[in-house]
Amino acid sequence: YKAKYQRLQTMLGEDPVVIEWFEKKRPNLSKLGAEELFDEIESFEEDREPEVVHEWDDGWKIVKLATRTQIWNEGDALDNCLQKESSYSEGYCRDALSGKSEFFSLRDPDDNSVISIQWTPGNREPEQVYGAGNREPHEDEANRIGEWAKKRGGVYTGGRYQGLDGDERRIAEHIHETYGDDGDDLRYVARRWGEIFSVSDAKEWMDAVGPHGYEEASIYESAGLDASESKLLP
């Protein structure tokens, strides 16, 4: 039986859903053809309910999305890039099944998906936290996610700086406080500045070329100019 199990792993890889199906169902592999085998696994996966990892007294909860079907259903419910048709979906599924990243869903008392969450193990904060159509969480939703994150030993500070840490976060905070940029654009711009400059240099260059002038600043610096000299240019 162990030899059959090893052959199955060779055929289908280390997919945890396959392993769970095999261990729980103990199938007679000699009676299953290839097509029947995949049908059995697919049926098992579709029937598998997401694991509840946190629950509130009013019926709200957070569940872990651990199978392709669960991830695809989440994407369909919230019309985001987890849905099967998305070009990102297969990569997300691979990350989830390999343990490289974890995916969760904030659900209301009727078990409707409200917020999708991606969190890489070892990170202090989730990378992506979005509702339907990639909207930012509302205040109550953010508070619930923050409470859950704290119990996991992490933190959730809201959509503005999510996924940013270290110099990138300090640059983003400076941009928001000084120029008022927000949302996805803020995170993207902060990352671009952080790829090229230290926090102090980024602040000086922003004063010269504006918060979106990272490419211009990079060209000037490559030419040997500093931020104060760039202000003299036409």
pLDDT at 8: 64
pLDDT at 121: 92
Q: For the whole model, what pTM was predicted? A: 0.57
pLDDT at 230: 59
pLDDT at 20: 67
Q: Answer yes or no: are the C-beta atoms of 27 and 41 closer than 8 Å.
A: no
DSSP string spanning 30-89? GG--HHHHHHHHHHHHHHPPPEEEEE-TTS-EEEEE-SHHHHHHHHHHHTSTTSTTSTTH
pLDDT at 115: 96
**Which residue do the tokens 């109550």 mark?**
140
CA distances from 178 to 195, 200, 206 (A): 20, 14, 10
pLDDT at 165: 74
Give the residue ranges of the chain where pLDDT is below 50. none
Q: What is the C-alpha to C-alpha distance for residues 43 and 53, in angstroms, rounded to an integer?
A: 24
Adjacent-strand bridge partners of 116: 105, 130
Q: Which residues, other chains included, contact 35 with Cβ-Cβ below 8 Å and sequence gap of 6+?
A: none
Adjacent-strand bridge partners of 119: 102
Q: What is the C-alpha to C-alpha distance for residues 61 and 55, in angstroms, rounded to an integer?
A: 4
Give the CA radius of gyration of the chain. Answer: 23
Q: What is the C-alpha to C-alpha distance for residues 171 and 128, in angstroms, rounded to an integer?
A: 19
Other C-beta atoms closer than 10 Å to the C-beta of 65 total: 26
